[in-house]
């Protein structure tokens, strides 16, 4: 069965369109009925202008259905995930549209183990939603709302899984670009707690995201890069709107794609432990394979989406997961991607290796990457996909974990129908820029031919 509202990571849409009062009320009632109208839900939101309004609607519907609410305020998604397990709540709900523009909003639903609810549970919620179930409680059974500041506990939990003493000794300096959202509330506190001097930019909350937009693409992080090189900071870090992702820059002002920093984490973590299982989606750079071969690490590939990485980590008892978008999953803290955890771990690596971040990045093998999208109506996607499958070059190795990954002796092409937009995404990686461009041409031709055939 296909999901109607849940996408790769929660429900997202434009405020006033999909995300409207009626929809939110019905979805809240569906959530309440999934808990049989009892239990506790922790609630948090990012800094979007529409978030308080949405929070009131969700809260009103849940307490009127007998669900107790613990309101954590404006906090990162990973903090809500931590809160669910820390407070032994039954569910968590985060009001956020992550990296989408300011007019968007949405909800992420967190299970009692701190991980986003499974696709099976998402489908069940959608089923309840369609049935329009409402079980309002009697007037004297309306549940309570309490507020809680869990930031200090969250900060201490992160500090407890890194080497505080080593980090303190190095007297590091870091630039934190909060993107005008929740990352600016927590990451500076974590780093300061570790004795790091913090230079904050875009750390004032503003739901219009005027600083640099809310998506931390390396191309948008010029200010962070300038401040890092000018101030000779040891590293710089930028978050997305709900601070579950982290993009890093070095002391020279270079900013890396997520899989470069993930490879640095991979190299350090698996250089130190015996359990060598690394979980990553099929879209990750071959650089993670190079590190795995060097250190005898087993890579467990997953479809694209943090929920797959988290759940695979639990099943395989893996210590580390990582995504090309800068999502780091560090099991000693929690098996979900966590931007503030990534900041503390990077400080740990720089302190322990006594190396500059630019040096750590430079010694990784170099690859060239390109991403493109091609328009395709949702109803054509399945046909287009099977046409492409039947027309891939014979000599190429094919991986179908998510979409179609064509693996060549050097480099690969990944073709995926987007789960949230009427487009196909094409990711390409190879050893040289020339070959990357050629492979991208091949990928575009394959998709275009298929789309034209059915249009």
Annotated active-site positions, please? 98
Question: What's phi and psi for 11, nearest 5 deg?
Answer: -105, 130
CA–CA distance, 240 with 9 (Å, rounded to integer): 14
What are the residues whose beta carbons fall under 8 Å from the beta carbon of 226, sequence distance 6 or more? Answer: 253
Query: In the complex with Mg ion, which residue's Cβ is closer, 14 or 389?
Result: 14
What are the residues whose beta carbons fall under 8 Å from the beta carbon of 8, sequence distance 6 or more? Answer: 304, 305, 419, 420
Query: In the complex with Mg ion, which residue's Cβ is closer, 184 or 443?
Result: 184
Site string for Mg ion, 51-90 (x = CB under 5 A): ----------------------------------------
CA–CA distance, 116 with 324 (Å, rounded to integer): 19
242 makes contact with Mg ion (CB under 5 A): yes
What is the arrangement of strands in the sheet containing 197-201, beginning at the earlier edge strand? 197-201, 173-177, 235-239, 246-250
Find the binding residues for Mg ion in span 164-193 (CB under 5 A): none
Interface with Mg ion: number of residues (CB under 5 A): 4
Q: Which stretch binds Mg ion (CB under 5 A): 25-33, 193-201, 206-214, 233-241?
A: 233-241
Answer yes or no: are the C-beta atoms of 361 and 294 closer than 8 Å.
no
Q: Which of 126, 215, 244, 429 binds Mg ion (CB under 5 A)?
A: 244
Q: Which stretch binds Mg ion (CB under 5 A): 41-49, 232-240, 293-301, 424-432?
A: 232-240
Query: In the complex with Mg ion, which residue's Cβ is closer, 9 or 28?
Result: 9
At its nearest, how many Å lie between Mg ion and the CB of residue 326?
9
At its nearest, how many Å lie between Mg ion and the CB of residue 80?
12
At its nearest, how many Å lie between Mg ion and the CB of residue 8?
11
Query: In the complex with Mg ion, which residue's Cβ is closer, 242 or 338?
Result: 242
Find the radius of gyration of the CA atoms of the chain.
Answer: 22
- CA 337, 338, 344, 350 torsion-angle sign: positive
323 makes contact with Mg ion (CB under 5 A): no
Query: In the complex with Mg ion, which residue's Cβ is closer, 194 or 309?
Result: 309
Q: Which stretch binds Mg ion (CB under 5 A): 29-37, 124-132, 241-249, 306-314?
A: 241-249
CA–CA distance, 289 with 296 (Å, rounded to integer): 10
Answer yes or no: are the C-beta atoms of 41 and 71 closer than 8 Å.
no
Query: In the complex with Mg ion, which residue's Cβ is closer, 258 or 303?
Result: 258
Q: Which stretch binds Mg ion (CB under 5 A): 94-102, 193-201, 394-402, 408-416?
A: 94-102
At its nearest, how many Å lie between Mg ion and the CB of residue 90?
23
At its nearest, how many Å lie between Mg ion and the CB of residue 201?
19
With CA atoms as reference, report the closest residue to 233 among 182, 188, 186, 180.
188
With CA atoms as reference, report the closest residue to 399 among 239, 238, 284, 315.
284
At its nearest, how many Å lie between Mg ion and the CB of residue 351?
27
Site string for Mg ion, 299-318 (x = CB under 5 A): --------------------
Q: Which of 61, 81, 93, 98 binds Mg ion (CB under 5 A)?
A: 98
Q: List helix spans (H) across 296-338.
A: 306-316
Burial (CB count <10 Å: 0-12, 13-18, 19+), residue 137: middle
Query: In the complex with Mg ion, which residue's Cβ is closer, 94 or 384?
Result: 94
240 makes contact with Mg ion (CB under 5 A): yes
With CA atoms as reference, report the closest residue to 260 among 348, 362, 186.
362
Coil, helix or strand for 259?
helix
116 makes contact with Mg ion (CB under 5 A): no
Query: In the complex with Mg ion, which residue's Cβ is closer, 220 or 244?
Result: 244
The one-character DSSP state at 161 is T
CA–CA distance, 119 with 8 (Å, rounded to integer): 10
234 makes contact with Mg ion (CB under 5 A): no
Q: Which stretch binds Mg ion (CB under 5 A): 14-22, 132-140, 237-245, 309-317?
A: 237-245
At its nearest, how many Å lie between Mg ion and the CB of residue 240?
4
With CA atoms as reference, report the closest residue to 257 among 275, 268, 274, 245.
245
At which residue do the structure tokens 């006033």 appear? 16
At its nearest, how many Å lie between Mg ion and the CB of residue 284?
17
Nearest residue to Mg ion, scored by beta-carbon proximity: 98
Q: Which stretch binds Mg ion (CB under 5 A): 92-100, 163-171, 227-235, 346-354?
A: 92-100
Coil, helix or strand for 104?
strand
At which residue do the structure tokens 């040289």 appear? 432
Contacts to Mg ion by CB under 5 A = 98, 240, 242, 244
């Amino acid at each position: 069965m296909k999901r109607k509202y849940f996408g790769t990571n929660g429900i997202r849409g434009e405020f006033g369109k999909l995300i409207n009062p009626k929809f939110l009320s019905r979805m809240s009632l569906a959530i309440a009925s999934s808990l049989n109208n009892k239990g506790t839900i922790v609630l948090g939101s990012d800094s979007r202008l529409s978030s308080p309004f949405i929070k009131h609607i969700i809260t009103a519907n849940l307490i009127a259905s007998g669900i107790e609410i613990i309101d954590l305020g404006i906090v990162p998604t990973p903090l809500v995930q931590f809160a669910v397990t820390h407070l032994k709540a039954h569910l968590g709900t985060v009001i956020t549209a992550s990296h989408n523009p300011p007019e968007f909003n949405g909800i992420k639903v967190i299970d009692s183990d701190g991980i986003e609810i499974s696709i099976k549970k998402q489908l069940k919620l959608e089923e309840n939603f369609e049935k329009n179930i409402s079980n309002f409680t009697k007037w004297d059974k309306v549940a309570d709302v309490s507020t809680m500041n869990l930031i200090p506990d969250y900060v201490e939990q992160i500090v407890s899984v890194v080497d505080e003493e080593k980090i303190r000794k190095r007297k590091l300096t870091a630039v934190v670009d909060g993107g005008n959202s929740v990352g600016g509330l927590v990451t500076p506190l974590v780093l300061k707690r570790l004795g790091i001097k913090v230079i904050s930019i875009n750390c004032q909350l503003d739901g219009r995201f005027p600083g640099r937009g809310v998506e931390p693409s390396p191309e948008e992080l010029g200010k962070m890069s300038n401040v890092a090189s000018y101030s000779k900071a040891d590293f710089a870090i930028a978050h997305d709107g709900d601070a579950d992702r982290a993009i890093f820059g070095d002391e020279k002002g270079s900013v890396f794609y997520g899989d470069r920093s993930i490879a640095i984490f991979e190299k350090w973590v698996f250089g130190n432990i015996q359990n060598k299982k690394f979980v990553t989606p099929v879209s990750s750079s071959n650089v993670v394979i190079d590190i795995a071969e060097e250190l005898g690490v087993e890579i467990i590939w997953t479809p694209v989406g943090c929920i797959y990485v988290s759940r695979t980590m639990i099943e395989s008892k893996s210590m580390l997961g990582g995504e090309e978008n800068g999502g780091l999953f560090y099991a000693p803290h929690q098996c979900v991607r966590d931007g503030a955890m990534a900041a503390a771990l990077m400080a740990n690596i720089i302190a322990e290796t006594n190396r500059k971040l630019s040096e750590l990045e430079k010694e990784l093998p170099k690859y060239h990457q390109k991403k493109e999208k091609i328009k395709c109506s949702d109803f054509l996607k399945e046909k287009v996909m099977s046409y492409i499958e039947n027309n891939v070059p014979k000599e190429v190795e094919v991986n179908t974990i998510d979409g179609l990954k064509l693996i060549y002796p050097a480099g690969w092409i990944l073709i995926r129908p987007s789960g949230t937009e009427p487009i196909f995404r094409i990711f390409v990686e190879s050893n040289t820029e020339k070959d990357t461009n050629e492979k991208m041409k091949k990928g575009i031709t394959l998709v275009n031919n298929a789309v034209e055939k059915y249009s």
